Structures are given as structure tokens and as C-alpha cells.
Structure 1
Amino acid sequence: MFDNIEFANPQFFWLLLLLPLALLWYLFKHKEEMASLRISSIKGFTINSLTAKFRPVLFALRLLALASIITALARPQIEDISTRTKTTKGIDIVMAIDVSSSMLARDLKPNRLSALRDVAGEFIKKRPNDRIGLVGYAGESYTKTPITSDKSIVLNALREISYGDLEDGTAIGMGLATSVNRLKESKATSKVIILLTDGVNNSGFIEPKTAADLAIEFGIKTYTIGLGTNGNALSPVAYNPDGTFRYGMRQVEIDEALLKDIAKVTGGKYFRATDNEKLEEIYDEINKLEKTEIEEFKYYNYDEKYRSLIFLAGILLLLEWVLRNSVFKSFI
């Protein structure tokens, strides 16, 4: 009965303290009104003792009516809230992903590229109000998905990204420049590139610093991630006769100085991911750093419930008046 009911003026409930005071006053007054008479016999008196016993019902009806009125003054109501959200600060994000053969190294489980796909997928799902695009790069770069608000397209493209689509190598400058090209015409308030690599720049015809200057010119912030454990990692070192990779231990080489410089000059931040958990923490941190501002409008609809209490109080007072002037008339 009282589910979801709130009171607009709960301070009126203090008036309920009057009820026990009124009850004490009635009991005291009732004793004073009861005069004693000593007689030798009560023959000749006709007394309806049952009706007299129920005389306090009149006062009880008044108390209940008063309690109903006080509760009505507190304004019980059911609040219905509807909300509408509006994105006031949109963010366009391009994720530049290294798809060179070294991304098949198994220092992350099951390998670097698969671990990245899982973590990046969760990141995309947490950005429902932003537009996201994908760029893949190895010896050269290409746009896997232009920036779009359709997350299902981006997630499907992310699952499809793999080694072998491009000539092997690590063209960091090309990957960054292609990402800038995807964002330079964007009208979003904030434009962000998340560039991930596990190597050093050794391919492509655009220098990373030149691409970073382009990002600065177009107001694009770049977060860089160096992926790979410290020391050696089980990585592809050659091809087997059947065309599969032969794995061996190789030194992990990441140009951290370059990645730090790109992040610093563009206003971003550099991260190093040495395992699956660290990679997940990095994307969570970027998710917190790049917050989309959401303006929420709330609409309140109140269903007032005090009317039924006023009606109940009226019924109780009417019943008290009728009983006082009928059943209990000869005793009052």
C-alpha cells in the first residue's frame, strides 16, 4: 500500500505528538465527569450499560480523523521520474593498432593481438556516446573502419583485424598519420587517438614526429601504449615449411622514448602494458581520462494521495456526529 510513497511535507508528522496528549486529556476529563452517587437501590433506573461502554468510540473517531488530516498535510505522493539525456561533449576516437608479426608474440595470452582485441572490445562497449574508428598498420597503414557511432560495426571490424593484411613491419608514423587523417575533419569537441605498438618505427614514408606535428595542428590528443613484457618474449622468428610461424625467444624492443614524446607533445599520456591485466588497466584509465559529458534532464510527475485521506477524515467526523446525535444522544 505504501510502496513508492513519499511525503512532500514530512514535518507535519510532528503534529502526531498531539494525539497522545489529547488521549491523556480525554482520560483526565472523563474521570472528572464521572460523579459518584450512593443510593440504596438502583430499581427504577433504566441504564443501557452496553452503549455507555462504547461511548469512547466517539473520541477515537475524532483522533483517527485528526491523524488522517495530519497525514494529508504531509502530502503523500507517488513520484514518477522520466529522464532524457543529451551528450554535450562528444568525443571522436581512433584506435591505431599494430598488426605486425611481432603482435603474435605469446607473452600475453593467447598472444598480444588476441589480448588486445578482447580488451579494446570492452573499451568500445564502455563508450556508447562516442564515435570510434579503427586504423591498422604494419609496414603501411589502412583505415579498417571510419569513425562511426555504430558500435556493432566497430566491434565486428575489431574481431576481423589480424596479421597478414599488410606487408610486415612497423610504420608508427604511417599509422599515426592515417589516424589524424580520419579525425582532421571531425567537429567533435574532443579528438583522441589511441596508438598501440610493440616495436620500433622501421617502415613507412612518414616520420612519427611529422605525424605528431599533424596531430598537434588539428588539436588531436594521442595516447600511446607500448605492448610487451620486459626482457624476452616467445615470438615468431621464421616460417615452417608448411607456412606456419616458428617461434623462438626474442628481445622485446619498444621505442619508449618516441612513444613518450608523441604523447607529451599532443597532450596525451604514455603507458606500458606488460601483461593482460596491465593492458586492461590502461584502457580503463584512458576511459576515465576521456569522459564524455552527459546532460541529464529529469521530469517529475507527482500523483497526490492526500485527497483520499481528507475524504476519510470527513467520513470519520460525519460518523462521529451521527453517532453523537443518535445512538449516544441520551448519554452526552
Structure 2
Amino acid sequence: MFKDVQFANPDFFWLLLLLPLAALWYFFKRKEQTPSLKISSIKGFSTQGFLPKLKPLLFLLRLLALAAIIVAIARPQTKDVSTRTKTTKGIDIVMAIDVSSSMLARDLKPNRLAALKKVAADFIRKRPNDRIGLVAYAGEGYTKTPITSDKSIVLSSLREITYGQLNDGTAIGMGLATSVNRLKESKAISKIIILLTDGVNNSGFIEPQTAADLAIEYDIKTYTIGLGTNGNALSPVAYNADGSFRYGMRQVEIDEELLKDIAKVTGGKYFRATNNEKLEEIYDEINKLEKTEIEEFKYTRYEEKFRPWILLAGVLLLLEWILRNTLFRSFI
């Protein structure tokens, strides 16, 4: 009966303490409420039967009616809360992903590119209110997915990114410039690029510094991530006769100074990911740094439930009145 019910005026329940007091008063005063006649003997009088013993039922009905009235004035009600959210500050994000052959190195498990795709997918799912685009780059760069709010498209495109779609190499400037090109027309209040690489700039016809200047011009913040362990990593070094890669140990070379400079001049931050766990932590930190402001509106609808209690009290009082003036009339 009281499931999901709350009371607007619960203080009125203190009145229920009066009911036991009323019951005690009735117990001690009930005999005084009926006129008495003292006689020396009741021999010759017939007993009135069992009905007079039920007279306290009338008082009980009054108590129950009073209890129902108290519950009614406490205002039982149910509450239905609906919410609506409004994005007050949207963020447009482009993720620039290095897809050069060195991204197949196995210092991250199962390799750098696969580890990145997994972590990037989790990051995308955590940004339901932002638009996200993908840029892939190696010896050159191209837009894999323009910025969109449809996360299913972005996640599908991310899964499709593999090595071999571009000429090998690491064109950091091309990757950054392509990302800027996707964001320069954006009307979002905040625009950011997450640029990840595991090497040094050795390809492309746009210098990284030039691309960084473009990011500054369009007020685009850039977070840079250097991916790779410290020291040597098991990396592709040659092709086998069947076209597969031959792996060998190779020195990990990341132009950290360049990545730090790009992040600094654009207002971003540089991170170094040496393993899977660190990569996850970096994307979690970026997720916390770049928060979308959400305004939430709550609408509450109350449904009053006091009417059945008033009706119950009325029925009990009516029943008490009918019994008092019919069945128990001779004993009152």
C-alpha cells in the first residue's frame, strides 16, 4: 500500500499517539457512559445476550476513522521525476593516430596500434556529448572520419584503421595539419586534438612547427602522446618472403622535445605512454581535463494519494453512525 509513497506532512503522524490515550480513556470510562440502575438482585431479568459486548466496536470504528484522517492530512503522494540534459559547452575532438609500421611493435600488448585502438574506443564511449573525428597518418595524412556526434560511425572507423593504408613513414606535421583542417570551421567553444605517435617526423611536406602555428591561429588545443617503451622494443625490421613482417629488437626513438613543444604552444599537455596501463591512464586524464558542461533540468510530478484515506474515514464514520442508530440503539 505504501510502496513508492512519501508523505508531504509527516509531522502529523505524531497525532497517532493520541489514539492509544483515547483507547485507555474509553477503557476506564466506558461504564460511566451507560446509565446504571442499582437493584438488590437481577433474578427474574433475562440477560441481554452477546450484542452488548460488541458495543466497543463503535468506538473502535471512530478510532480507525481518526487514524485514516491523520494519514490523509499527512498527504501521502507518489513522485515521478524526469530529467532533461542540455549541453552548454560542447567539445569537438580530433584524434590523430600514427599508423606507421613501427606501430606494430610489441612492447604494448598485442601491439601498439591494437592497444591504442582499444583505449581510444573506451575514450570515445565516455564522450557521449561531444563530436569526434579521426585522422590517420603515416607518410602522409588523411581524414578517416569528419567530426560527428554519431559515435557508432566513429567506433566503426576506428576498428577499420590498420597498417598499410598509407605509405610508410611518420609525417607528424601532416597529421597535425589535417586535424587542424577538420576543426578550423568548428563553432564549438572548445576544440582539441589528441595526436599520438611512436617516432620522429621524417615524412610529409608540412613541418610540425607550421602545423602547430595553424592550431594556435584557430585556437585549437593539442594533447600529444609519445607511445613506446624506454629502450628497445620488438619491432618490424624487414619483410619475410611471404610478405609478413620479420621482427627484431630496435631502439625506440620518439621526438619528445617536438611533442612537448607542440603541446606547450597550443595550450595542451604532453604524455608518455610506455605500456598499456599508462596509455589508459593518459586517456583517462585527458577525459578529466576536457569536461563538457552539462546542465540538467529535473521535473517532478506529484500524485496525491490522500483521497482514498478520506473516503475510508467517511465509510467508517457512516458505519458507526448506522450501527449506533440501529443495531446498538437499545444499548446506548
TM-score range, shorter chain: over 0.9
Residue 162 of structure 1 corresponds to: 162
Take 1:44 and 1:269, find their aligned partners in 2: how far apart are those partners?
109
For the pair 1:255 / 2:220, whether they are aligned, the reply is no
Partner of 1:26: 26
Q: 1:21 to 1:262 in 2, by over 3 A?
A: farther
One-letter identity of the residue aligned with 1:80? D
Q: Which residue does the alignment assign to 2:204?
A: 204
Where 2:154 maps in the other structure, the secondary structure is helix
* 1:50-84 CA-partner distances (Å, limit 9, x unpaired): 22221111111111111111111111112222222
| Map 1:296-307 → 2, pairs under 5 A | 296-307=296-307
CA gap of 1:49–1:258, structure 2 versus 1, over 3 A, is: farther
How far has the Cα of 1:262 moved from its partner? 1.8
The residue number in structure 2 matching 1:148 is: 148
Letter in 2 for 1:205: F
Q: Secondary structure at the match of 1:277?
A: helix
Q: Which runs of 5+ in 1 are unaligned?
A: none
Structure 1, 31-40 or 163-172: larger mean CA deviation: 31-40
Counterpart of 1:66 in structure 2 is 66
TM-score (norm 2): 0.94
How many angstroms does 1:116 deviate by? 0.9
Structure 1 position 85, deviation (Å): 2.2
> Structure 1 stretch 143-152 or stretch 74-83: which is displaced more?
74-83
Quote the Cα distance in structure 1 between the aligned partners of 2:128 and 2:120: 14
Deviation at 1:128, TM superposition (A): 1.7
Bigger mean CA offset, 30-39 vs 183-192: 30-39
Q: Report Cα offsets for 1:125-177 as digits up to 9, x if no partner.
A: 22222111000111111111111111121111111111112221111121111
Amino acid at match of 2:21: L
Cα displacement string for residues 161-202 of structure 1 (whole angstroms, at most 9, x for unaligned residues):
111122211111211111111001000111111111111222
Cα distance in structure 1, aligned partners of 2:56 and 2:78: 35
Worse-superposed segment, 230-239 or 5-14: 5-14
Give the match for residue 320 of structure 1. Answer: 320
Counterpart amino acid of residue 138 in structure 1:
A
**What is the match of residue 221 of structure 2?**
221
- Secondary structure of the equivalent of 2:50? helix
Which deviates more from structure 2 when the two are superposed, residues 173-182 or residues 26-35? 26-35
Bigger CA drift: 43-52 or 92-101? 43-52
Deviation at 1:326, TM superposition (A): 1.7
1:35 offset after TM fit, Å? 8.8
Q: 1:238-253 alignment to 2 at 5 Å?
A: 238-253=238-253
Q: 2:82 maps to what in 1?
A: 82
- What residue number does 1:176 align with? 176
Please give the residue correspondences for 1:266-277 in structure 2 after superposition, counting only pairs within 5 Å.
266-277=266-277
- Per the TM alignment, residue 39 of structure 1 is displaced from its structure 2 partner at its CA by 5.0
Q: Does 1:7 align with 2:13?
A: no
Task: Give per-residue Cα distances to partners, 1:283-310, cap 9 Å, x unaligned.
Answer: 2222222222222222222221111110
Match in the other structure for 1:112: 112
CA distance in structure 2 between the aligned counterparts of 1:47 and 1:193, rounded to whole angstroms: 100
Q: CA RMSD in A?
A: 1.9
Tell me, which stretches of 5 or more residues in structure 2 are unaligned?
Answer: none
Match of 2:265 in 1: 265
- Name the structure 1 match of 2:232: 232
Whole-Å Cα distance in 2 between the matches of residues 48 and 273 of structure 1?
Answer: 97
CA distance in 1, matches of 2:216, 2:31: 92
* Inter-partner Cα distance in structure 2 for 1:29 and 1:217: 93
User: Residue deviations 1:305-331, cap 9 Å, x none?
Assistant: 111110100111111111122222222
TM-score after normalising by structure 1: 0.94
Matched position secondary structure for 2:259: helix
Q: Secondary structure at the match of 1:94?
A: strand
- Alignment match, 1:311: 311
Q: Which residue of 2 aligns with 1:278?
A: 278
Q: Percent identity, aligned pairs only?
A: 81
Distance in 1 separating the partners of 2:217 and 2:57: 86
- Matched position secondary structure for 1:299: strand
| SS of residue in 2 equivalent to 1:242 | coil
Counterpart residue identity of residue 119, structure 1: V
Q: Which deviates the most, 129-138 or 209-218?
A: 209-218
Indicate how the Cα distance of structure 1 residues 209 and 65 shifts in structure 2: closer, same or farther if over 3 A, else same.
same
Q: Which one is further off, 221-230 or 81-90?
A: 81-90
Q: Which amino acid aligns with 1:190?
A: S
Q: Which moved more, 1:17-26 or 1:112-121?
A: 17-26
Find out whether 1:194 has 2:203 as its counterpart: no
Q: Per-residue deviation at 1:32?
A: 5.1
Matched pairs, number: 332
Q: CA deviation at 1:25?
A: 2.1
Of 290-299 and 177-186, more deviation after overlay is shown by 290-299
Letter in 1 for 2:167: E
Distance 2:10 2:216 in 1: 58
